[in-house]
């Protein structure tokens, strides 16, 4: 087998594993619901954390304002990072839901769970950093935090997404034991 053939075979295998990991949550209503719930929660955390103090203060006064706040936060993310930044944030939230279900399935079975967790965790942290980090910095007195990240945080978001995709491509279908 030549080098290019083996590279093509490895790429094809990784693509198939990624496809199986991405579609795994859709195989049952329970895993789909978990993935959607985690994705929604992640999205709320990501967009709300752009200005966590204002979000927390408003929620403390009246929980009914949460939908309006989410719309405002979404618009805030769009204005700060553009449509690409918003798309990356949504994609990150969806992948966080998928990764949670895949890792939970691995941990539950005891098959390669630690590896799965360690594989996905860096991507989750990296991508989360893009928005949560920007949101947390104001708490420390740093204003205009998005400006501190290259391309308004989009580069870090994209790297984080790539990290999660890489981790999922390694894990594949979680119903498999690996050496």
Partner 1 sequence: MADDTNGFLTRRRALAGIGGALGLGAAGLYLTADTAADVEDYAADFTVQSGASEGLGVDYADRPVLGSTDADLRLFAWSDYQCPYCRRFDEETLPELAASEVADGTVAVVFLELPLLGERSLTAGVVSKAVWRTVRDDDPNAWGRFHRFVFTKQGPENGEWATESNLLSYAGAVDGVPGDEVERLVANDRAALEASVQADASVAFDDLELERAAPLFALSNPNTGDWREIRGAQPIGTFRDAMTALREN
Please give the structure tokens belonging to residue 107. Answer: 């941990």
Query: Closest CB to partner 1 among 14 and 137?
Result: 14
Coil, strand or helix: which one is 15?
helix
Q: How far is CA 162 from the centre of its chain?
A: 10
For residue 145, the 8-state DSSP code is G
Q: Are 153 and 134 in contact (CB under 8 A)?
A: yes
How many angstroms separate the CA atoms of 70 and 76, rounded? Answer: 9
For residue 120, the 8-state DSSP code is H
Shortest Å, Cβ 49 to partner 1? 36
Shortest Å, Cβ 164 to partner 1? 21
Query: Closest CB to partner 1 among 45 and 111?
Result: 111
Shortest Å, Cβ 110 to partner 1? 5
How many angstroms separate the CA atoms of 168 and 161, rounded? Answer: 11
Binding site for partner 1 (CB under 8 A): 13, 27, 109-111, 173, 175-179
Shortest Å, Cβ 116 to partner 1? 13
Query: Closest CB to partner 1 among 79 and 178?
Result: 178
Query: Closest CB to partner 1 among 13 and 71?
Result: 13
How many angstroms separate the CA atoms of 77 and 88, rounded? Answer: 11
């Amino acid at each position: 087998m030549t080098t290019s053939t083996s590279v093509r075979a490895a790429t094809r295998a990784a693509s198939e594993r990624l496809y199986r990991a991405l579609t795994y949550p859709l195989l049952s209503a329970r895993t789909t619901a978990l993935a959607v719930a985690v994705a929604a929660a992640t999205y709320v955390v990501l967009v709300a954390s752009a200005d966590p103090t204002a979000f927390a203060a408003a929620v403390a006064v009246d929980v009914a304002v949460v939908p309006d706040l989410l719309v405002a936060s979404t618009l805030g993310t769009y204005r700060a990072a553009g449509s690409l930044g918003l798309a990356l944030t949504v994609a990150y939230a969806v992948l966080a839901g998928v990764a949670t279900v895949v890792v939970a399935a691995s941990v539950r079975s005891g098959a390669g769970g630690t590896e799965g967790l360690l594989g996905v965790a860096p991507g989750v942290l990296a991508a989360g950093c893009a928005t949560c980090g920007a949101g947390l910095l104001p708490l420390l007195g740093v204003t205009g935090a998005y400006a501190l990240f290259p391309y308004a945080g989009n580069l870090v978001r994209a790297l984080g997404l790539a990290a999660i995709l890489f981790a999922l491509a390694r894990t594949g279908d979680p119903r498999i034991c690996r050496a």
